[in-house]
């Protein structure tokens, strides 16, 4: 039943009965890398500073989300969130909220060697670090910057600071790093990191995504099984995007069975269990990565809206969330903004 009226509840519910409790906050659209699947080598026209939410505005919207809308998990992303000077203060403000949300950061880890300890002290719980290759020259080819040593130093610092479990995100690209499924997992197991592979999605600014060229989750699993025995993970998946497997014979840093995940956004969509809501760096609510609509909270913030008015706009935006991303629909259109501007 799709056309029923929106119920008068505090939570971010949609017409399909999903409840969003996991907020992705993009803190900037800028980045110091140029991953080919995300941004063109020459970069993008960045959002003007006046359009980016101030730290106080971000803090207020996170407070509204946690205290009025039932958000329990806040993940900071971008662009590259470590480029945001106010990040430790934003983390500290979120950590001071009650109920305290779980706090994580998705980052390329450049600068994390310096920032890991202060972010931990501010209240950050965990990090997800993007790492597609262990070869310096391939890193340069994928990200257009010679920064692999900085990423590896950032990873070590994150683990040392207790930002655990450290999760790794990897995108495999055909003919570039598609022979690294096993080496990346071996690296993750050796260091006690939890690795997840992400299928490449049509979210690049260049619109160069090609489904035929995409490395599928099935291919990734087949490659992993050549090096490891994977067993079904008995844990409940819930709203988690990754399907996970236990890696026989290995344990994580806490002594639990080690896991590897595959986020099959394209071939095995998990939209029916999605519990995400997204806030862009310029104050737009998005119900989905692939949404073509955004709801402006910045105008309300700057125009004197009360917390409850902001919360109500957010609820209305999420009520309109579509059933799925529709990548397989012949009429699928890539969203107007790329991943770096939406917040991955
Ligand atoms: N800069 C940070 C980073 O790279 O972790 C945070 C933002 S980035 C957009 C978040 C995640 O999205 C990264 O793990 C990245 O690999 C992933 N990503 C970016 N573009 C993608 C695409 N077209 N398909 C799949 N994953 C993508
Ligand atoms: Fe930057 Fe992350 Fe996009 Fe790479 S994936 S260009 S690190 S925002």
**Residues within 6 Å of ligand 1 by CB:** 31, 37-38, 77-78, 80, 106-108, 130, 169, 171, 198, 200-201, 203-204, 339-340, 344
Computed from CA positions of residues 208, 212, 217, 222, in that sequence, does the dihedral angle turn out positive or negative?
Answer: negative
Give percent of the chain with pLDDT exceeding 90: 81
Instruction: Give me the phi and psi of 265, to 5 degrees please.
Output: -55, -35
Q: Which residues contact 203 (CB under 8 A, 6 or more apart)?
A: 37, 38, 209, 289, 290, 334, 335, 338, 339, 342, 344
CA distance 197 to 92: 30
Closest atom of ligand 1 to CA, residue 202: 23
- Indicate whether residue 35 lines ligand 2 (CB < 6 A): yes
* Each residue's pLDDT tens digit, 72-93: 999 999 999 999 999 999 999 9
Please state whether 249 falls in left (phi above 0), alpha (psi between -120 and 50) or beta.
Answer: left
Return the biggest CA–CA distance within the chain: 59
Tokens of 248: 């026989």
Mean pLDDT of 141-160: 97
The two beta strands, 73-77 and 22-26, are parallel
Atom of ligand 1 nearest to the CA of 31: 1
Mean pLDDT over 320-328 rounds to 86
Of the spans 38-47, 141-150, 332-341, which averages the highest pLDDT? Answer: 141-150
Under DSSP, is residue 69 helix (H, G, I), strand (E, B) or coil?
coil
Structure tokens at 6: 């929106």
- Ranges of beta strands (E only) in 142-298 are 167-170, 194-198, 230-232, 243-251, 257-263, 276-279, 284-286, 295-296
Q: Is the C-alpha dihedral spanning 304, 307, 313, 317 positive or negative?
A: positive
Q: Which of 80, 128, 170 to mutate to test the pocket of ligand 2 (most atoms within 8 A of CB)?
A: 80
Which CATH number describes the domain made up of 12-342?
3.20.20.70
Q: Which of 161, 103, 163, 108 is nearest to 131 (CA)?
A: 108
Residues 191-230 have pLDDT tens digits of 999 999 999 998 887 888 888 889 999 999 999 999 999 9
34 C-alpha to ligand 2 centroid (Å): 6
Question: What is the three-class DSSP state of 261?
Answer: strand
Q: What angle do CA 187, 241, 231 make, to 5 degrees?
A: 55
User: Is 108 a pocket residue for ligand 2 (Cβ < 6 Å)?
Assistant: yes
Domain residue ranges in the chain: 12-342
């Amino acid at each position: 039943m799709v056309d029923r009226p929106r119920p008068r509840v505090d939570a971010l519910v949609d017409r399909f009965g999903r409840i969003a409790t996991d907020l992705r906050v993009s803190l900037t659209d800028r980045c110091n890398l140029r991953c080919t699947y995300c941004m063109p080598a020459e970069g993008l026209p960045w959002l003007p500073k006046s359009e980016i939410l101030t730290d106080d505005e971000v803090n207020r919207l996170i407070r509204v989300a946690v205290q009025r809308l039932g958000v329990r998990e806040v993940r900071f992303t971008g662009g590259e969130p470590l480029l945001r000077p106010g990040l430790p203060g934003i983390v500290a403000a979120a950590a001071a909220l009650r109920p305290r949300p779980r706090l994580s950061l998705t980052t390329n880890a450049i600068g994390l060697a310096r920032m890991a300890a202060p972010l931990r002290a501010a209240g950050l719980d965990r990090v997800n670090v993007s790492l597609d290759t262990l070869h310096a020259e391939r890193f340069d080819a994928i990200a257009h910057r010679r920064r692999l040593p900085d990423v590896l130093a950032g990873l070590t610092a994150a683990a040392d600071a207790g930002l655990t479990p450290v999760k790794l995100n990897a995108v495999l690209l055909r003919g570039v790093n598609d022979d690294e499924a096993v080496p990346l997992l071996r690296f993750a197991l050796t260091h006690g990191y939890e690795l997840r592979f992400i299928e490449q999605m049509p979210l690049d600014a260049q619109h160069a995504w090609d489904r035929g060229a995409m490395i599928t989750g099935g291919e990734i699993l087949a490659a992993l099984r050549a090096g490891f025995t994977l067993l079904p993970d008995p844990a409940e998946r819930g709203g988690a995007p990754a399907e996970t497997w236990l890696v026989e014979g290995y344990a994580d840093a806490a002594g639990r069975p080690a896991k590897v995940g595959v986020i099959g956004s394209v071939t095995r969509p998990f939209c029916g269990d999605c519990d995400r809501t997204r806030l862009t760096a310029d104050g737009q609510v998005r119900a989905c990565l692939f949404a073509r609509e955004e709801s402006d909270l910045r105008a309300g913030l700057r125009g004197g809206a009360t917390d409850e008015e902001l919360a109500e706009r957010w609820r209305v935006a999420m009520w309109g969330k579509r059933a799925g991303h529709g990548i397989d629909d012949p009429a699928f259109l890539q969203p107007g903004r790329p991943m770096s501007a939406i917040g991955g």
